[in-house]
């Protein structure tokens, strides 16, 4: 194995430290405490874990965390009324509605009801447009984390060939915009791309955001390229044995086949411990950024796009 391992867990810890230090200064010098409101509708177990983790890390960095847990059958009108209340609350600088929402709620309508200045997920149509036109916006957390790691590893990204595999609104598309903003030559590949291996072989930077376990093998990777693996896939791991109920134990893998890619790449993010931890760290960074902007204060350095 020759690739440098980009340690997202360690990087995320440094981001959280920077956020905490800036939050402490805001409190001391300006008497302001950033606040993040997280809204969870229903009892999806994975969403509950994410929301708990977000709340815990928010408090650990010195910010206020406001959790709003609503019943699964909450009406759209009640959810929109809560968002309106949070939009008007000066103690709340960031609002995150945990997705997915129950089927009877219109996700686009709900997301676009959030004040764009408080939209720390960066999913509001205004933020999408601002990012697309190179203006100051709230940037989706996962791609922002990928960008931070790439900048840290490469310094300048200018002129590099980047291939983003996946065109989702939450990862692929904003990732491509960010790379374009840093002057990469960007290709977005997706399920209909012809000859994906050849497209990926051109890339100095490969960002895989598909959700298919180990679909990118090492022989697609240009020697020395950087592989950012966004995928989080749970697969059976019979080598780990079985649980008490007889079911096979599982493990997490990315969209890249780690061993073969690491043998060719110049750098790679592992799964777990790569992009994943950066996502919540960037949510905290976005909350701080939103708070600074709301108060006309200087933004934290190195924590925005
Ligand atoms: P998505 O399902 O919305 O989008 C997947 C994209 O992959 C689509 O654009 C599709 O065109 C493309 N695709 C599907 N099959 C393909 C193929 N065979 N070849 C090329 N492209 C193909 O997924 P998403 O929300 O963007 O998430 C992608 C992955 O990233 C998932 O594994 C998800 O769990 C993970 N994820 C991780 C984080 C994190 O914090 N690390 C955050 C968000 C998503």
Q: Is the CB of 196 under 6 A from ligand 1?
A: yes
pLDDT of residue 161: 98
Cα–Cα distances in Å, from 86 out to 36, 54, 90, 105? 10, 18, 8, 18
Mark which of 85, 118, 151 sits at the end of a domain.
Answer: 118
Q: Is the CB of 189 under 6 A from ligand 1?
A: yes
Same domain, yes or no: 153 and 266: yes
Same domain, yes or no: 103 and 218: no
Q: What is the mean pLDDT of residues 150-165?
A: 98
Q: Is the CB of 276 under 6 A from ligand 1?
A: yes
Give the pLDDT confidence of 10-23 residue by residue, as tens digits: 999 999 999 999 99
pLDDT of residue 63: 98
Q: Is 260 domain-assigned?
A: yes
Q: What does the block give as tokens for 18?
A: 């920077």
Q: Is 104 domain-assigned?
A: yes
Same domain, yes or no: 114 and 146: no
Same domain, yes or no: 47 and 80: yes
As for how many domains the chain has, the answer is 2
Same domain, yes or no: 145 and 81: no
Confidence of residue 2 (pLDDT cuts 50, 70, 90): confident
Q: Is 287 domain-assigned?
A: no
Ligand 1 centroid – CA 154 distance (Å): 24
Domain of 253, in residue numbers: 141-278
Ligand 1 centroid – CA 77 distance (Å): 31
Q: Is 124 domain-assigned?
A: no
CATH number at residue 203: 3.40.50.720
- Residue 141: name the closest of 28, 263, 36 by CA: 36
Same domain, yes or no: 105 and 153: no
Give the pLDDT confidence of 49-89 residue by residue, as tens digits: 999 999 999 999 999 999 999 999 999 999 999 999 999 99
Determine how many CB atoms are found less than 10 A away from the CB of residue 64: 15
CATH number at residue 45: 3.40.50.10860
Q: Is 35 domain-assigned?
A: yes
The pTM assigned to this predicted structure is 0.97
Same domain, yes or no: 191 and 262: yes
Q: Is 98 a catalytic residue?
A: yes
Cα–Cα distances in Å, from 298 out to 26, 56, 138, 149, 289? 10, 26, 15, 23, 9
Q: Is 121 a catalytic residue?
A: yes
Same domain, yes or no: 269 and 186: yes
CB 56 within 8 A of CB 105: no
Cα–Cα distances in Å, from 109 out to 9, 42, 136, 140? 34, 18, 23, 18
Mark which of 57, 86, 118 sits at the end of a domain.
Answer: 118
Q: Is 103 domain-assigned?
A: yes
From the candidates 18, 118, 119, 121, give the one annotated as an active-site residue. Answer: 121
Q: Is the CB of 190 under 6 A from ligand 1?
A: yes
Convert 19-36 to b/e letters by CB count within 10 Å (16 or more is b): bbebbeebeeeeebebbb
Q: Is 296 domain-assigned?
A: no
Nearest CA to ligand 1 atom 17: 191
Q: Is the CB of 149 under 6 A from ligand 1?
A: no
Q: Is 136 domain-assigned?
A: no
Same domain, yes or no: 53 and 177: no
Same domain, yes or no: 113 and 212: no
Same domain, yes or no: 171 and 269: yes
Give the pLDDT confidence of 261-295 residue by residue, as tens digits: 999 999 999 999 999 999 999 999 999 999 999 99
Same domain, yes or no: 152 and 265: yes
């Amino acid at each position: 194995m020759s690739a440098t391992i980009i340690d997202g867990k360690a990087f995320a810890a440094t981001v959280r430290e920077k956020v905490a230090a800036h939050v402490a200064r805001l409190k001391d010098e300006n008497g302001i405490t950033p606040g993040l409101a997280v809204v969870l509708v229903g009892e999806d177990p994975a969403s509950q874990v994410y929301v708990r983790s977000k709340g815990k890390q928010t408090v650990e960095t010195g910010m206020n965390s406001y959790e709003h847990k609503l019943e699964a059958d909450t009406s759209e009108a009640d959810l929109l009324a809560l968002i309106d209340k949070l939009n008007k609350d000066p103690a709340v600088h960031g609002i995150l509605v945990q997705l997915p929402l129950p089927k009877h709620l219109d996700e686009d309508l709900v997301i676009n009801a959030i004040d764009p200045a408080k939209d720390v997920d960066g999913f509001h149509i205004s933020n999408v447009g601002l990012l697309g036109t190179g203006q100051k916006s709230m940037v989706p957390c996962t791609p922002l984390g990928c960008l931070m790691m790439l900048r840290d590893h490469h310094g300048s990204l200018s002129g590099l060939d980047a291939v983003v595999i996946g065109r989702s609104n939450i990862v692929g598309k904003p990732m491509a915009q960010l790379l374009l903003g840093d002057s990469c030559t960007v290709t977005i590949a997706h399920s209909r791309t012809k000859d994906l291996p050849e497209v990926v072989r051109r890339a100095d930077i490969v960002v895989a955001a598909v959700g298919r376990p180990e679909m990118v093998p090492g022989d697609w990777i240009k020697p020395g390229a950087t592989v950012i693996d966004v995928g989080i896939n749970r697969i059976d791991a019979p080598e780990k044995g079985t649980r008490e109920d007889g079911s096979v134990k599982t493990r997490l893998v990315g969209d890249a086949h780690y061993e073969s890619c690491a043998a060719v790449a110049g750098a790679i993010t592992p799964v777990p411990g790569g992009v994943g931890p950066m996502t919540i760290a960037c949510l905290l960074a976005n909350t701080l950024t939103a708070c600074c902007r709301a108060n006309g204060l200087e933004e934290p350095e190195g924590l925005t796009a």
